[in-house]
Amino acid sequence: MRRAAVALLTASVLLLPARALAQDFWGESTLDAWAMNAELMVSGSAGDAQEVAGAPCAAIHEAIDDYLPPSSENAAVPEWVDFPWAEEIWHTNLTAEMIESLIEMYGWQYIDIVRCTSLYTDGWLQANEAALNLAGNPSGPLVEVTVDGPTQCSSRQVLIASASYYWDYLQGRWAYDFGTDWTESYFGGYTATADLAFRCIDIVEPEDPDFADVAADVPSAQVNYNPLVVGLTGLDTWLWYEFTAPNTYSLGPKTVTVNAYGKDWTLTANAWVDAIHWDIDCETQCDFRASVAEWDDSGMDLSYDFPDTAGEIAAFYDGGGPSNDDALAIHLYEEKGMYTVATATVWRGYYVSLGVPYLYDPVVVVTSRPYEVQEIRGVLTTPGR
């Protein structure tokens, strides 16, 4: 038996007021007709959405309730009428004869009755934890779900999931939830089956990889070296980093809003220091803040990588100290001269939207200081003089 009221099958129904979206193109949506009460992306034209949204669904379902209740002589009562939720399912399983009766009794247009009693499967919702849980447990004693598509997306994207929507006459509004082709079986034990498709869509333009302005908000990189004033050829220069407080190695949570497809998307970003690099004779990009993709790291001579992962900050940050035993990195200058020492901190992290995490494009902050290296020469002397 065809599933017509999706919300009745699943444990929770997402009902959030927002504007609607179009799934197939970048930029502001033209589907303003769906700006009623649904955070729902609709595949189709603005005209199609306007027609569906403009149908007098509340009045039509009131007429169904009055004129075609399951006990009515005008209704052919099916075997499942006493099943839980049958009253609402009844409103979305009208036969051709029932539709003709409504037209004759109330004068409704045939197309409006169909629009208001149909299950629409051309919708998409932003995926949340409930959608991922449904995908992660595709088979169970009551619900079986066929999953198609990725459940992880690249940076600057969000995950959307296929959805169905229909007019909920009990609440007097459009209702919707994840999944399409919901089907119920009442025989041999109650089961429900559905299809769930996932897709990744871009919500941030490629030209703006650091959309949360992480590079602008994190502190400048430290340039710590010892000897502090003047380096000496043939003598080690020790490099270290001071993590005196959490804000020296972590950022967030930071909430940002981006607009795409005519809708605001709320993202919460976190970032942390992933690695430190040193260029001991820097010539270009010696003071720099931007995405890692815009950074030339070919001049880096030394590196220290912290034990973090792509989705989790390192448990502890120790930047060492200005001694041979404690330094994070050591360099030996062989020629005297004026050098520019640059330190680069690479920050990576993730953002979360509706409980779903996404990796954030790494950023880099480079800071530099001048460093003079002098040469020590031995002087020959005559003993006794």
Q: What is the pLDDT of residue 89?
A: 73
Q: What is the pLDDT of residue 235?
A: 86
CA distance 144 to 346: 44
The position carrying tokens 């399912």 is 89
Element (H, E) at 331: strand 329-332
The set of long-range contacts for 221-225, using a CB threshold of 8 Å and a minimum separation of 24, is: 221/276, 221/343, 221/344, 221/345, 221/365, 221/366, 221/367, 222/343, 222/367, 223/341, 223/342, 223/343, 223/367, 223/368, 223/369, 224/322, 224/343, 225/322, 225/341, 225/369, 225/371
Give the tens place of pLDDT for each residue, 7-59. 333 322 222 222 233 333 333 433 333 333 345 666 655 555 566 666 788 89
In angstroms and rounded to an integer, the radius of gyration of the C-alpha atoms of the chain is: 32
CA distance 35 to 31: 8
Q: What is the pLDDT of residue 184?
A: 67
Residues 182/166, Cβ–Cβ less than 8 Å: no
- The domains found in the chain, sorted by start residue, are 6-202 (no CATH), 214-374 (2.60.40)
Q: What is the pLDDT of residue 16?
A: 23
Q: Parallel, antiparallel, or unpaired: how do β-strands 263-279 and 236-240 relate?
A: unpaired
Whether the bond between 370 and the residue before it is cis, its omega within 30 degrees of 0, is: no
Q: What is the pLDDT of residue 53?
A: 66
Backbone φ and ψ of 42, nearest 5°: -115, 125
CA distance 326 to 345: 19
Backbone φ and ψ of 232, nearest 5°: -130, 140
Which stretches of the chain score pLDDT less than 70? 1-54, 78-88, 138-141, 184-191, 229-231, 262, 377-385
CA distance 136 to 145: 10
CA distance 64 to 56: 13
The position carrying tokens 């609440």 is 171
Rounded to two decimals, what is the model's pTM? 0.79
Helix intervals (H) in 5-76: 46-54, 57-67
CA distance 4 to 242: 61
CA distance 364 to 293: 9
Q: What is the pLDDT of residue 263?
A: 73
